[in-house]
C-alpha cells in the first residue's frame, strides 16, 4: 500500500494522469483514503488566509512601547468575519523568550470582530508591550495566529520575528515628588541608545519604590557631540533640549506620568548654542535661541525668486 501511495503522483507516459489515479485508488484501503483526504483539506486551508507580521525595529529599549503590525489577506473566495469563539480569540500573539519559554502575560487581548471581503487585505497595529512584560532585557520572538470560522484551533500562523530588549545606563537622572501623593517619588531618566547605527535619545519615568518603568519614550535621533540638557520645572515637568540636526535643537517636555506634552524647534541665536535655564520661580525656559516657525520659514522661502524666473537679457 505504501508503494501505491508514492506511485500515485507519477503519471503513465501513455495515459492521462486522471486514469492512472483512478487505477491506483482502487488498490488503497479506506483508512488510507481518509488520510489522503485530510492532507488535501490541509493543503487547501493553508492557502485560504495569508497572515504576516512586521516590526519597525529589532532592537528595543526595555520598557519602550513595542508595536507589531498584523496583515491578513482573505483568499477564501468569500467574505468572512473573524470573531472570538467563546474564550478562544480569533487573533493570538505568541511571544517567547530566547530560551523558548512564554513571555509573562500582563493583560488579555480582546480584539473585536473584523470583516474582510473576498480578496481584500486588512492590517492592524497592536501594542505588544501592553500585553506582555517586555521590561526584562533579552531576546524575544513573536508570531501571530489567526483563527477563521470553521477551522481548527491551530489556525493560520504568521512568520516569526526576533527582537532584542536592552537596558542601558542613564546619562542623567533626577528624583521628584508626585503632586497630590505625599511620600511618593519618581525618577526622570535620560538615556542614549544606539539602534542600527543611529543614536536615539530616550526619556524614562520610573516608579522609585518599585523600580518599574512607567513609560519609556523615544524622543528621536540626536547628535551627541552636543550633550543633551535636562531640567525639571516647578510643575514636575521634564524639559529636554538636544541637537537633532546640525541646524535644529529640539525642546521636548514630559510630565510626571510619562505623558509627552509636545516639542518645539529652535535654532542658534546671536549668543551661540541654545541652553536650558531654570529661573527663581521654578520655571524652565530656553535661552540663546530663536524659535523656529515653519509657517514663517515657508513664507520667507516663497519670496526667494527662482533662477528660472530671471528676466531674459540681450547681449550685444
- Kindly report whether the global pTM for this prediction surpasses the value 0.75: no
In the numeric block, which cell numbers belong to residue 218?
A: 523615544
Residue 14: its pLDDT value, please?
40
Q: Which helix (H) or strand (E) holds 44?
A: helix 30-45
Residue 12: its pLDDT value, please?
40
Tell me which DSSP letter residue 308 carries.
Answer: G
C-alpha pair distances (Å), 287 with each of 177, 264, 272: 27, 13, 10
Residue 158: its pLDDT value, please?
95
In the numeric block, which cell numbers belong to residue 84?
A: 472570538
Q: List the beta strands (DSSP E) in 128-167.
A: 138-146, 156-157, 161-166
**Cα first-last separation, the chain:** 100
Helix (H, G, I), strand (E, B) or coil at 198: strand
Residue 266: its pLDDT value, please?
94
| Residue in the structure block whose three cell numbers are 503522483 | 9
- Do 184 and 177 touch, CB atoms closer than 8 A? yes
Q: Is 151 left (phi over 0), alpha (psi -120 to 50) or beta?
A: beta
CB atoms within 10 A of CB 140: 20
Which domains can be identified in the chain, with CATH numbers? Answer: 2-45 (no CATH), 49-166 (2.60.40.2970), 172-300 (no CATH)
Question: Using CA atoms, how far apart are residues 38 and 228, in angstroms rounded to an integer?
Answer: 63
Helix (H, G, I), strand (E, B) or coil at 309: helix
Extract the residue ranges of the chain whose pLDDT is less than 50.
Answer: 1-28, 33, 35-46, 315-316
Residue 5: its pLDDT value, please?
36
Backbone angles phi, psi at 275, to 5 degrees: -150, 150
Amino acid at each position: 500500500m505504501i508503494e501505491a501511495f508514492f506511485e500515485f503522483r507519477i503519471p503513465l507516459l501513455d495515459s492521462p494522469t486522471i486514469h492512472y489515479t483512478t487505477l491506483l485508488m482502487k488498490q488503497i484501503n479506506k483508512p488510507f483514503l481518509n488520510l489522503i483526504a485530510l492532507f488535501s483539506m490541509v493543503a487547501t486551508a493553508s492557502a485560504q488566509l495569508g497572515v504576516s507580521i512586521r516590526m519597525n525595529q529589532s532592537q528595543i529599549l526595555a520598557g519602550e512601547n513595542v508595536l507589531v503590525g498584523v496583515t491578513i489577506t482573505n483568499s477564501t473566495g468569500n467574505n468572512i468575519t473573524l470573531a472570538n469563539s467563546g474564550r478562544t480569540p480569533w487573533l493570538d500573539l505568541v511571544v517567547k523568550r530566547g530560551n523558548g519559554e512564554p513571555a509573562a502575560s500582563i493583560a488579555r487581548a480582546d480584539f473585536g470582530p473584523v470583516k474582510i471581503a473576498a480578496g481584500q487585505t486588512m492590517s492592524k497595529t497592536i501594542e505588544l508591550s501592553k500585553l506582555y512584560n517586555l521590561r526584562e532585557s533579552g531576546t524575544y520572538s513573536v508570531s501571530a495566529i489567526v483563527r477563521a470560522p470553521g477551522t481548527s484551533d491551530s489556525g493560520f500562523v504568521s512568520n516569526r520575528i526576533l527582537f532584542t530588549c536592552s537596558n542601558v545606563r542613564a546619562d542623567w537622572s533626577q528624583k521628584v515628588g508626585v503632586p497630590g501623593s505625599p511620600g511618593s517619588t519618581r525618577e526622570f531618566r535620560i538615556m542614549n541608545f544606539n539602534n542600527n547605527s543611529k543614536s536615539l535619545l530616550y526619556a524614562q519615568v520610573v516608579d522609585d519604590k518599585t523600580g518599574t518603568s512607567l513609560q519609556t519614550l523615544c524622543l528621536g535621533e540626536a547628535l551627541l557631540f552636543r550633550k543633551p540638557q535636562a531640567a525639571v520645572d516647578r510643575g514636575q515637568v521634564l524639559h529636554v533640549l538636544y541637537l537633532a540636526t546640525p541646524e535644529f535643537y529640539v525642546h521636548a517636555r514630559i510630565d510626571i506620568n510619562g505623558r509627552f506634552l509636545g516639542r518645539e524647534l529652535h535654532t542658534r541665536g546671536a549668543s551661540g548654542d541654545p541652553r536650558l535655564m531654570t529661573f527663581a520661580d521654578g520655571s524652565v525656559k530656553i535661552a540663546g535661541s530663536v524659535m523656529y516657525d515653519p509657517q514663517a520659514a515657508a513664507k520667507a522661502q516663497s519670496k526667494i525668486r527662482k533662477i528660472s524666473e530671471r528676466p531674459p537679457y540681450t547681449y550685444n
